[in-house]
Amino acid sequence: MSETDRPAVLFHRDDALWLPQRACVGPWSDDLLHGGAVAALCVSQAEQATDDPGWITSRVTLDLVRPVPRAPLEVETEVLRAGRRVRLVEISVRADGREVVHARVQRTAHEQIALLESELPSVRPAPPPDLPEDFIGPDQYRPLARPIPFVEESSEIRVPDSEGPFGTGAITAWVRIQAELLPGQRLSPAASVCAAGDFTHAFGSPEPVHAMRLYFPNADLSVHLSRTPVDAWVRMAPSAVWETSGVGHARCELSDRYGTIGTSVMTLVLSTP
């Protein structure tokens, strides 16, 4: 593999410190991380702390306590519950001694259960109406108004419109996070999907992102998964509500190639520039 073919890397390590790389940078500033990079870090650390075959990352809650700087980060992980079927991991991310992210990741043991006909969902899961191959990629749609390394270097976003993922208002997209957590360490499908979850508000924006009159950063991110995704690709079908109170709510139904796998939800803080 040539140098140019190598995937982007989100972090390097220096003993206990995590060093964010350019591929982590988000839309707000060259000095601040994209929430997706932070989600990938937190989920990966929780999976490592409960590294047993057959466990599913079933819930992730991420509180973005402060903007996360592109600076050395300390990550503290504690297993709060180590049950037979459910394990709960708490993660604290700190920059210069101050907590910037507080996360909890729930992992659930897979156990085959036989359901009666009456216990099955009334609407059976079905494959999505489209696949990543049906949409167009970055080489076919309008470039971003300004460079966003996490979007351009760490992610592949495929959409049905040549205006691109942020050029039309609310849009359904297929996303995969291609970046490695560390050099040579790929993200798990669940960590990749949770990282993609931080695009929820952008895909649900009522207007093209570059034309927005308001700022709408997310204060949190919650992802619920009912099963492990088959691969890194996730279909995100958004909806959003913005209120005159200055609070918004964005949600995506998440699917893989075989059907629904869960939801992503976030609280938005609306403000004028």
Bridge partners of 236?
173, 254
**pLDDT (tens digit per residue) in 16-40:** 999 999 999 999 899 999 999 999 9
Q: Specify the pTM.
A: 0.92
Query: What's the token pair of residue 261?
Result: 């796998």
Q: How far apart are the C-alpha atoms of 161 and 207, rounded to whole Å?
A: 14
For the chain, the average pLDDT equals 92
Q: How far apart are the C-alpha atoms of 34 and 46, rounded to whole Å?
A: 19
Tell me 130's DSSP state: -
Q: What is the gyration radius of the CA atoms in the chain, in angstroms? A: 18
* 152 and 179 Cβ atoms separated by less than 8 Å: no
Q: How much of the chain exceeds pLDDT 90, in percent? A: 76
**pLDDT (tens digit per residue) in 114-123:** 777 777 776 6
CA-closest candidate to residue 199, choices 228, 164, 226, 227: 164
Q: How far apart are the C-alpha atoms of 178 and 152, rounded to whole Å?
A: 10
Query: What's the token pair of residue 110?
Result: 């897979």
Q: How far apart are the C-alpha atoms of 82 and 46, rounded to whole Å?
A: 12
- Count of positions (residues) in the chain: 273
- Which residue intervals of 65-166 are DSSP H helices? 149-152
Q: Which of 10-19, 35-44, 48-57, 171-180 has the lowest mean pLDDT?
A: 48-57
Q: Is it the case that residue 228 has pLDDT exceeding 80?
A: yes
**pLDDT (tens digit per residue) in 167-225:** 888 999 999 999 999 999 999 999 999 999 999 999 999 888 777 788 899 999 999 99
pLDDT of residue 124: 67
Q: Is it the case that residue 5 has pLDDT exceeding 70?
A: no
> Where does the pLDDT of residue 4 fall: very low under 50, low under 70, confident under 90, or very high at 90 and above?
low
Q: How far apart are the C-alpha atoms of 197 and 234, rounded to whole Å?
A: 9
**pLDDT (tens digit per residue) in 147-161:** 899 999 999 999 998
Q: Is it the case that residue 52 has pLDDT exceeding 90?
A: no
